[in-house]
């Protein structure tokens, strides 16, 4: 599990049955697909900052995270592209480390090794996530 900030944690997880997990997703966490943790972390940081500044487009941090990942203001498109699916995903917890560990246990998710992006891929992700600021 990676600590991005004091109250933002990300880990790669294996989701067995996404349909059962979707209704459990709460205000303090989101599960998304992504190519690497840096992509998800940057979008999560932008989501948190948008709420701090009052520039958010979604009602929840998880929704804002999806918008940032997709680089769009259309939540339906963001969910279709980056929403939780069976297989490898990233669990993002907006809260303290103990809440992140508790969420892993509650959802019975298997933690996987976290992989890095290459620098060129990271740059593309950062530009896309930041695009929501200007839309």
Mean pLDDT by 10 residues, the chain (135 residues): 94 96 91 91 93 93 94 93 96 95 94 84 71 61
pLDDT score for 84: 97
**Which range of residues forms the domain containing residue 73?**
2-131
pLDDT score for 120: 74
pLDDT score for 107: 93
Instruction: For residue 40, count CB atoms less than 10 angstroms from its CB and return exposed for 0-12, middle for 13-18, buried for 19 or more.
Output: buried
pLDDT score for 32: 97
Cβ proximity of 130 and 43 under 8 Å: no
pLDDT score for 135: 53
Displacement of CA 124 from its chain's centroid (Å): 17
CATH number at residue 105: 3.30.2380.10
Q: How many domains does the chain have?
A: 1
pLDDT score for 132: 65
């Amino acid at each position: 599990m990676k600590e991005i900030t004091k109250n933002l944690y990300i880990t790669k997880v294996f989701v067995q049955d996404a349909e059962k997990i979707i209704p459990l997703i709460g205000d303090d966490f989101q599960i998304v697909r992504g190519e690497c943790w840096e992509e998800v972390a940057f979008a999560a940081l932008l989501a948190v900052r948008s709420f701090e500044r009052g520039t958010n487009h979604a009602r929840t941090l998880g929704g804002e995270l999806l918008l940032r990942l997709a680089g769009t203001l259309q939540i339906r498109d963001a969910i279709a592209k980056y929403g939780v699916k069976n297989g490898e995903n990233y669990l993002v917890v907006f809260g303290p480390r103990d809440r992140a560990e508790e969420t892993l246990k509650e959802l019975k998710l298997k933690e996987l090794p976290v992989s890095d992006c290459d620098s060129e891929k990271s740059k593309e992700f950062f530009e896309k996530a930041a695009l929501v600021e200007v839309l």
